[in-house]
Chains A and B, each alone.
Chain A
Amino acid sequence: MDNRAILAELPRLRRYARAMLGDRAAADDLVQDTLERGWSRLHQWRADSDLRAWLFGIMHNLRVDQLRRPRLSTQSIDEDDFELPTRPTQTDELELRDIESALNHLPDEQREVLLLVALEEMSYADIAATLGIPIGTVMSRLSRGRERLRLIMNGEQANARLRVVR
């Protein structure tokens, strides 16, 4: 496999992992695990398939494994973690902060679909294939995720069920 092809995917894997997990160190660990598992399963890779979808699929499966496994919740306290990844104007920053915290209130499976659509601009069919779910499920998760995010952003938290903090 061409290592430049993998290098080209790394920034996107990191962006998605960061958005999913919120935490920089945890996100990079997930990307690292994804690459390691990818290399160990190279025999499953078909040259004509989509490298990005394959890697995102591996990451998704790793994440599912992680969620199934009870573990102590840890949080790194790198100085960097206190910075937002972006520094636009003051008011914009507040809005972005809002969407970041609102995003964390979505159930994992909704956040996942929403981010694959918003950040990766994957087609619904590709998302269905990557996550191994029917396309109808993709649509309903997308629809529910977006609506919940909207309600939370509007301050209608009452409608958003509280999620157990991991």
Chain B
Amino acid sequence: MSALPITESDLQAWVDAALPEARRAEVEDYLAVQPVEAERVRAYREQKQALRSLFDPVLDEPLPEKLSALASPPPAAAIERPPKPFLARWSLQRFAAGIVVALVSGLGGWMAHDRYPPAENLARASFPRQAAVAHAVFSPDMRRPVEVSAEQEEQLVAWLSKRIGTPVRPPTLGPLGFDLIGGRLLPGNSSPVAQFMYQDATGQRLTLYISTENLTNQDTAFRFAQEGQVNVFYWVDGKFGYALSAGIDKSKLARVAMAVYDQIEHK
């Protein structure tokens, strides 16, 4: 009676001592005349032994309390709570948006904005809100309000243009009393955004926030938003979103916004 041919599965099963006695003998006869195969399966057995030596000590480690406690049923409440995927969907972005909301509210009187349903609030901070938060975070910083100062304006312009993937240039607001002090790169929802910062003689600061993330390509007229103490004028032009933020009154900010608009749109 001729034996069945030896298969790869037979060899694996030989490594694991999972063959019936008769078959094991046939495999060993085969290995006796196949030194290369014999060497290979011997290496597999060594692997197995090495893995045991490496990981078996874990069996003798004392169990962490949090695990041994779970050998008994957790309180009923824990069993019935919503399953984990709920938390998993709590994405980083929503979490970040949550921080944004917290920041703005801490800024001074978070006003109830009924027009934004809570889910949307958490999902993605609106454009003017992002701009207002960026203003609120960086403009009070006396020592390091910007990453690159206006003294290196050419470098600043080249760098920001490169990073946001399209040419941007800070408008000149000197005639309105605001001088450029520099700019920085910030994370937007999906790509970098640029922020230019200006300052007047009294130290009042103003930021221009430029995003290239507008996907709807729907131009808008000037819009005004108030986020805490920060007033924001913003508008959308093609893929660009512009937001001008400052803690100055609305009419004054509107004049600056008009100047910015004129320079950017009608240069």
Binding site for B on A (CB under 8 A): 1, 3-4, 6-7, 10-12, 14-15, 18-19, 28, 31-33, 35-37, 39-40, 42, 65, 69, 72, 84-86, 88, 92, 95-96, 99-100, 103, 114-115, 117-119, 121, 123-124, 139, 142-143, 146-147, 149-150, 153
Contacts and interface: CB of A to CB of B under 8 A. Distances in A.
A72 B12 contact: no
A119 to B, nearest CB: 6
Residue among A1, A33, A39, A72 facing the most chain B CB atoms (10 A cut-off): A39
A18 B64 CA distance: 14
Interface stretch (B39-47, B119-127, B180-188): B39-47
B57 A86 contact: yes
Given A11-B59, A139-B8, A150-B44, A99 B70 contact: no
Interface residues of B, number: 41
Interface string B67-89: 11011111000110001110010
28 contacts: A1-B73, A3-B72, A3-B73, A10-B68, A11-B60, A11-B63, A14-B59, A15-B59, A18-B55, A18-B58, A32-B67, A35-B70, A65-B85, A85-B54, A85-B55, A85-B57, A86-B53, A88-B53, A96-B53, A100-B54, A114-B51, A115-B51, A121-B16, A123-B18, A139-B8, A142-B12, A146-B12, A150-B43
Contact of A117 (B16, B40, B54, B60): B16
Interface string B23-40: 000000000000000001
A121 B47 CA distance: 14
A36 B58 contact: no
A73 to B, nearest CB: 13
B74 A119 contact: no
Contacts of B9: 139, 143
Interface of B: 8-9, 12-13, 15-16, 18, 40, 43-44, 47-48, 50-61, 63-64, 66-68, 70-74, 78-79, 83-85, 88, 92
A24 B260 CA distance: 56
B88 to A, nearest CB: 6
B85 to A, nearest CB: 8
A117 to B, nearest CB: 6
A19 B64 contact: no
A139 B73 CA distance: 37
A12 B52 contact: no
Contacts of B88: 69
A33 B84 contact: yes
Nearest to A8: B71
A1 B72 CA distance: 9
A160 B79 CA distance: 44
Given A36-B70, A139-B12, A15 B44 contact: no
